[in-house]
Each structure stands twice: as structure tokens, then as C-alpha cells.
Structure 1
Amino acid sequence: MEKIRKEFPVLRKGIYANTAVYGLLYDSLLDWRQEHDLDFLIDGSDMRERSLKVISETRSAIGKFFNCKRDNVALVTNFSSGLNILLEGLDANKRVLLVNDDYPSLNWSFENRGFDVSYVSMAVDLEERINEAVVGGHIDVLALSLVQWMDGFAIDLEFLKKLKKENPDLIIIVDGTQFCGSANFDFKNSGIDVLGASAYKWLLAGYGNGFMLFSDQVKNCFSINNIGFNAADGDYDKKNNIRFAKKFEPGHLSSLTFGSLKYSIDFFERIGMDKITAHNHKLSKKAKTEFEKMGLLSERIVQRKEHSTIFNIKADKATFQKLKDNDVFCAQRGEGVRLSFHFYNTEAEIDAIVNILKNG
């Protein structure tokens, strides 16, 4: 990974443990973006066909990368926008299960529409609590983040698959923003019905791009009225024959921003998602071991077998400032400091953070 690290200029300034806030821009993506805009500068409207080709290729790349049918991929500017469009088409009488303190854009989108909402609390046995609530509460929709934004708590993906198998009518909607790009993921075989994600974090694609993935069967559970000329591919005759995913794309899409997502997916595939997954797993194990030794993790994280690469350590404002003074990029979240690691991080950097926390 050392050669890949040279792509990221920010890494020369310190330890970047803040991907959960913003994924890094890298040299080759910047080169592509500059070339794209230079073509637009020189060619004007002659750029249009190339732009449409970029959008089409991005849709195909996302489908292939996450194992989702191309026609079931919607391109959206961010997760929040995509989810709000989706929920406008959901029967208001549906009973919804959420996780307490999940990402606000996820929970608020349901709460603000007056659905019959119940909650499970975050705990080490979250999956068991969800299962009991689904069975006992006759839940229609389960919505949650695959990785919790506050402390990196990761839902067991095999659990979701089993839950869907045992409850085939349950609609499972997930936010993959803090997950997608950090590890391998097979949407088709996940049991998940809808996955939405913004791509500016772990996919390193910059702001303004994201996606929604849909299972075949879930499309019959929503009545989407969103429409626009772009949804019909600029064809008057297609007004009444717009496929489900395209209804999330009523207007023009930016070939710069979505082309950046396509470029990043290609970049990840050149590195190898198996390699990225293995490296991030190693970082997760290392960080958890070291922070646990220091008593910096909550019990619900300590007792979990698997964890993401996001950690919220027990730390006050002075500790946060100490990390910043030692050139560690991190964020205050809740009552602690959140540190998040990606494939451009190293185990040596985790050791360096531990030394800072111990010695200053």
C-alpha cells in the first residue's frame, strides 16, 4: 500500500484518521477531473455525448462493483436525497423499526412523515433485539446504517441475510455511506432490499454523488411519482414507461461528479477490493486491540466479535486538541473523539496515535 499512499498529498501533513468525515482526494482523480473540465472548456456542447457516456458507464460500474443489476441502480447526489424520494412512495401505514441514535438523515426521514415507528437501542446484542422486534412487533420496514456513524458499530451482514430469509415480506433499507468502499459487498446476495450511499467518504469520490441499489421485488412496494425529462432519457414517448431506478434521476446529472465516482471505483478495482478488505480488517483488529488495552472503548464495542475501522475513543477536548497538535486528523463526536482508518492508513500510524494518547 505504500506506493498507493503517494497518491494522497494530505498524508504528508500528518495522520489522516478522518475518512468518516471526508474521504481523501487523490492525484490521479484530480488529473481526471481537470482533463474533464478542460474538454468541457474547449468543446462546449460537443461534450454532451461523452458526458452521457460517462453517466452510463458509472451506472454499469456501480452495478458490477456491488453485484446489483444495472437497471436497479439509481444515481443520486447523496443518500439523504435518495431516501426522501423513496419514502414519498411508501405506504404511510407501514410499521417501521429504527435504531436509536442512528444517523439523523435516516431516522428523521421516517419520523418526519408520521410512520408508525418503534426503536431498538444500540447494544452488544443489537441483532437479537432487532429479530425480537421484527417478530414481536409485526414490523414492515427495517431501516438502519450498516456501520454506525458515531462509533463504527457494524451490523452483522449475515444476520440481515438470515432475517430476510425468515421474513421475506420485511423491507430492509440500509444506509451504506459509512461502509461502501471499506470492504467487499455483494448486494444481490445480501438480503437487503434498498441500499443508499453517499460516495464522498469511503469511496473517495468527492461531494455530489451517490447511489441507490434496489432488489427486484422491492420496486413493487413503492409508488414513486418523481419524474422529469432526464428520467425518460429525453424521449417524450417514454413518459409513461420509466423504470423504477430512473425515477430518482429527474434532471441532468453531472458527468464530473459521477465520473469521479466511476474513476474511484476503477481505482479501487486496480488496487483490488480483496486487498483493501484484508488491509482494513487488519487495521480494525489492531486499533481495537490497542484502544481496548487503554480502556478507551465502550463495552458494546469491546464485546463485539467484528468491528469496522471507525472508533470513538473516550477523550475530552484537551485530548482532541493534543491529537490535532500532533497532526492527527480526527473529529469530536458525542462525548469522545472519533478516529477512522482506511486503506491508506498503516498499523504504524495507529501505534503513533497510541503513543500520543499515552505520552503527548
Structure 2
Amino acid sequence: MDKIKREFPVLRKCTYLNTAVYGPIYDSLIDWRQEHDLDALLHGSEMWDQTLKTLSDTREKIGQFFNSDQDRVSLVYNYSLGMNLLLEGIDANKNVLLLSNDYPSVNWPFESRKFNTTILDITSDLEERIEEVIKANHIDIFAFSIVQWLDGFLIDLEFVKRLKKANPNLLLIADGTQFCGAMSFDFKASGIDVLGVSGYKWLLSGYGNGFMLFTDNPEDKLEVVSTGFNAANGNFKNKDTLALAKKLEPGHLSSLNFGSLKFSLDFLNTIGMDRITEHNQTMANRVKNELIELGLLQDHVIDRKSHSTIFNIKADQKMFQLLMDNDILCSQRGDGVRLSFNFYNGIDDLQHLIKVLKT
């Protein structure tokens, strides 16, 4: 792990507890990006075939990494863009369940299109209440973040599987931006119909890359109207036969951005997602116990069996500034301070944090 940490220059100057804002860039990725741009400089349009291969390889790698069919992978520049394109193909008369204070790019696209929305507050018994609301309000779509951006609340993924099994016609749309890369994830086994992810956080890929994954279930429910020459693979004959995944790729895509995503997926595979998952789950439990002892967590987080690696502590501006003055990089979110741990954070980082908090 020390060798891996040396890949991240930012870790040498601070205790980095801010992956929920931005996953730090690392040395080997920068080397790859510089080589890519040098090739573009020297070869110009001759790189086109290599660009197409990079994009195809990225789709294939995403499919392997998250267990999804390659032809059901859309490369999008971020979750927000993919979500807005997707919703253009859904009847606004549908009944939609959303979670209170979920990430704005999950909730706002539904609200701006005047869907019939029900907003559910997040409590420790969330899953039980979701089932009740879906039945009572005849919900057609449930859109949610797997991990909540404000406080790291983790929805029970086993519950999501059961929910889909009990409600096969319910469309489940999930944002995995604060989850994918921090924990192992099997899309086909998840019960989720559509998963969207931006790659600049836990996938450590920089800005401008992300993806949407689809099961075969939404094909008949979504009439997405976005299109373009790239969606047809530059073939006029494909205009009227575009698959759903391709409709979210109307224009040319950056081999630098999406090649960076593929490079980082390979990087995470080299470390091993099993190792990353085990490390992060262990760290999450240790951090949670320490913060509970200090009385800094909210009840709906304390009462949960499982939690992510993101925490929001009760802290004011003075405490936030104290953390920053002690080289702990974190963020103010909601009414507190958000801390996020990843595989490059160890016990030494936690001990430093607790020492500062106790002052």
C-alpha cells in the first residue's frame, strides 16, 4: 500500500479526506495522458483509428469491471449529462420516488420536467419506508444515489435486489458516482435498470468521463430522442436503428478522457477491487466507531448496520478551519464537514484526524 500511495503526490502534502469531491490524479495516469497528447501532436488525424479502438476498449473494460454487456454501455462526459438525455425519453406523467437532499443532478432533472414526484426523507429505516411508498403511491420510477453525497448514507443493495424482484415493472435508476470504485459492484446482479457514474471521484479518472449502464428492461420504456452521426457510428444506414446506449453518444468522444477512465479501471484492477473493498469497509467501520465515540454523527447514520466511507460530522466553520490548518483536506457540506476515506487512507490518517478533532 505504501508503494501505491507514492503514486499520489497530493498525499505527500496533506491528509487527503476529500475523494468525495475529487479523486486525486496519480503519476502513472499523468504519464499515459502525456504520451497520448504527444501522439496527437505528432500524428494528427492519423490517430483516428486508435481513438476508435480506445473508446471500444473502454466500453469493454467498463463492461468487464462492472459485469455489464458492452453494447449496453454508454460513454457520457458526466452523470448529469447522461441523466438529462435519458429523461427526454420518459413520459413525464410517470410517478417518481426521490430521496430528500439527494444529489441535485438526480432530483432536479425530474423536478424540472414536472414529473409526479414523491420525496422521501432519509431515516435509519429507509428501505422499509421505500416499500410502503412504492405500493401506496403507485410509483413507476425510483431514482436514487447508492451513496448519499452529503453524509455517505449507503442504501442496502440486497434490499434493491429484493425490491426489483417484487416489483419487476418498477424502473430503478441509480447514481453510482459516490460508490463505484470504492466498493466492488456487479451490475447484472444488482436489480438496477440504469446506472450512471461520473469518473472523477472514486474512479480516479479526472474530469470529463463517465458512463451509463443499461439492462434490457428499459429498452421498451425509454424513447430517447437524442441522436447524432457518432451515435450511428458514422453510417447513414444506422440512423433509424440506434440502440438505446448509442443514443446517449450523439457526438464525437475524447480518447484522452475515456482512455483515462480505462487506464484507471486497469489501475484499480491491478490493486484488486476485493482488496480495495475490504480495506474501505474496514476503514469505514473504524472511522464510524471513532466518530460515534466523539458524538459527531447523526442518529440515522449511527443506527445503520452498513455505511460507506463518507461521513458528515457535526462541525462549524471554526472546526473546519482547524482541520484545514492541520493539513486535513475535507469539505463543508450541509450543516457539517464531510470526510471521505479511500484505499490510500490508512490508520495514520484516521489517528491524525481524531487527534485534531479532540483539540
Give the TM-score taking structure 2 as reference length: 0.99
Which residue does the alignment assign to 2:102? 102
- Residue-by-residue CA offset, 1:45-65 (whole Å, 9 max, x unaligned): 111111110000000000110
Secondary structure class of the residue paired with 2:144: strand
* Deviation of 1:217 (Å): 1.4
After superposing on structure 2, the runs of 4+ consecutive aligned residues of structure 1 that deviate more than 6 Å are none
The answer to whether structure 1 residue 130 and structure 2 residue 136 are counterparts is no
- Mapping of 1:1-360 within 5 angstroms? 1-359=1-359
Give the share of equivalent positions with the same residue, in percent.
Answer: 58
**Separation (CA, whole Å) in 2 of partners of 1:162 and 1:18:** 33
In structure 1, give the amino acid aligned to 2:262. Answer: K
**Separation (CA, whole Å) in 1 of partners of 2:121 and 2:60:** 38
- Residue-by-residue CA offset, 1:178-224 (whole Å, 9 max, x unaligned): 00100000000100000001010000000000000001111111001
**Separation (CA, whole Å) in 2 of partners of 1:335 and 1:217:** 39
- Residue-by-residue CA offset, 1:153-180 (whole Å, 9 max, x unaligned): 0000000000000000000001111001
**Separation (CA, whole Å) in 2 of partners of 1:119 and 1:47:** 48
**Separation (CA, whole Å) in 1 of partners of 2:237 and 2:219:** 22
- Residue-by-residue CA offset, 1:275-325 (whole Å, 9 max, x unaligned): 000000011011001000000000000010000000000111111000000
Query: Gaps (5+ residues) in structure 2?
Result: none
Give the TM-score taking structure 1 as reference length: 0.99
**Separation (CA, whole Å) in 2 of partners of 1:94 and 1:335:** 33
In structure 2, give the amino acid aligned to 1:285. Answer: N
**Separation (CA, whole Å) in 2 of partners of 1:298 and 1:153:** 11
* Deviation of 1:238 (Å): 1.0
**Separation (CA, whole Å) in 2 of partners of 1:111 and 1:219:** 23
**Separation (CA, whole Å) in 1 of partners of 2:243 and 2:167:** 27
**Separation (CA, whole Å) in 2 of partners of 1:143 and 1:149:** 14
**Separation (CA, whole Å) in 2 of partners of 1:213 and 1:219:** 12
**Separation (CA, whole Å) in 1 of partners of 2:19 and 2:219:** 32
**Separation (CA, whole Å) in 2 of partners of 1:197 and 1:229:** 24
**Separation (CA, whole Å) in 2 of partners of 1:119 and 1:347:** 38
**Separation (CA, whole Å) in 1 of partners of 2:155 and 2:245:** 26
**Separation (CA, whole Å) in 2 of partners of 1:318 and 1:217:** 50
**Separation (CA, whole Å) in 2 of partners of 1:65 and 1:121:** 32
Count, aligned residues: 359
* Deviation of 1:5 (Å): 0.2
Secondary structure class of the residue paired with 1:357: helix
RMSD: 0.6
In structure 2, give the amino acid aligned to 1:165. Answer: K
**Separation (CA, whole Å) in 2 of partners of 1:134 and 1:41:** 54
**Separation (CA, whole Å) in 1 of partners of 2:91 and 2:347:** 48
Secondary structure class of the residue paired with 1:74: strand
**Separation (CA, whole Å) in 1 of partners of 2:290 and 2:68:** 37
* Deviation of 1:147 (Å): 0.2
**Separation (CA, whole Å) in 2 of partners of 1:200 and 1:219:** 28
- Residue-by-residue CA offset, 1:55-106 (whole Å, 9 max, x unaligned): 0000000011000100000000000000000100001111000001111111
Secondary structure class of the residue paired with 1:173: strand
**Separation (CA, whole Å) in 1 of partners of 2:236 and 2:334:** 51
Query: Gaps (5+ residues) in structure 1?
Result: none
